[in-house]
Chain A
């Protein structure tokens, strides 16, 4: 019988893959930013589920620390991408609907 950790690890892998596909194959910059957030969330889910791999005892705190760091870095990256998008919108209003 599969453990919860294995189920969530597999879900995390597929969420990350869906996000990666979105980053690579979507046209619109805003959708790419949303996709990169989904990509990151998938990776975090894999790590947090792997930390629970041992069936008993406490979960591994080292991946937990890494994810805590990762969440803040991800939100910083999102803010930077959005600031760049806003800058693009301000400086080039004609191109904003379908900017690459």
Chain B
């Protein structure tokens, strides 16, 4: 048995145990911290199955942004309140047994059908030359299956608008003024963020990276700024924020319609593909970053602090 395989078994086992531990924490705050640790270890496991693109996204969005959103919501509703005692055994035991059976059946199905031929690897690589990008994952999400991504940006827009609508008059307690360590951290990190975000977008054409990772980083900067000494995003005009939110979806939609003249929605001609993909990536990065920042502010209850101006 090789070292790599021992590592895989230990990591896979730890993930399952961590999932159980996360759901057995006594207070909401503890369960969020456990969930973030779980997310980071999950990202590590994705490196072991050759998915660096996804590991980056999971570490940034799945663990980082989700954790920030949950903590922001707890800032509004209270950290330490212990969970009430569990539901009646008449619900708990049948559900547990049913779920265990489901897991057993799925495991057997996977083990018995393991040697099926591998999916769409060959067709995806065969047309990589014509897709306008050298990163196969970018080719899938922005060329072959552009519809999925278009609808997904739509989902993100709808979710951000819903959060925007649901957060009524400011209800969150304002944060304490940041200390010297946080101020220093912001001074050092803000320029780094502004360098890394465009790099992430650009590198997505060849190597792991792209709009989602860059957008997540941008929202990290947004969340830090909201916590900082001058939360200037809170003073942006609503109009600016609305345009920023809808930019990615609008540009994507316009591109889809523009491609109609070549016969199909979102079927870029080969020689233009690279340009369109880069444009969409830039617009989507901005929209994803702004959407996630709005969600963070909304979950913390900081939106609409001033009726005239809000994030």
Contact = CB atoms under 8 A, between A and B. Distances in A.
Given A48-B54, A61-B136, A64-B140, A89 B76 contact: yes
Binding site secondary structure of chain A: helix
B16 interface: yes
Interface stretch (B88-96, B173-181, B274-282): B88-96
Nearest to B153: A72
B15 A58 contact: no
Contacts of A5: 49
Nearest to B288: A72
B152 A62 contact: no
Contact of A60 (B20, B95, B96, B124): B124
Nearest to B294: A79
Contacts of A10: 12, 107, 110-111
Contacts of A1: 1, 5
Given A65-B137, A71-B212, A34 B54 contact: no
Contact of B62 (A41, A49, A96): A41
B58 A71 contact: yes
Contact of A79 (B31, B51, B140, B295): B295
Interface centre among A21, A22, A69, A82 (most CB of B within 10 A): A82
A5 B118 CA distance: 13
Contacts of A96: 77
A49 B15 CA distance: 14
B121 A61 contact: yes
Interface residues of B, number: 96
| Chain A interface size, under 10 / 10 to 19 / 20 to 34 / 35 or more | 35 or more
Contact of B299 (A8, A37, A51, A79): A79
Given A17-B102, A34-B35, A89-B77, 17 more contacts: A1-B1, A8-B8, A10-B110, A13-B110, A14-B16, A17-B99, A18-B23, A24-B95, A48-B49, A51-B51, A58-B136, A61-B120, A61-B136, A62-B144, A71-B54, A79-B159, A80-B159
Interface of A: 1-2, 4-11, 13-22, 24-28, 30-31, 33-35, 37-38, 41-42, 44-45, 48-49, 51-54, 57-69, 71-80, 82-87, 89-90, 96-98
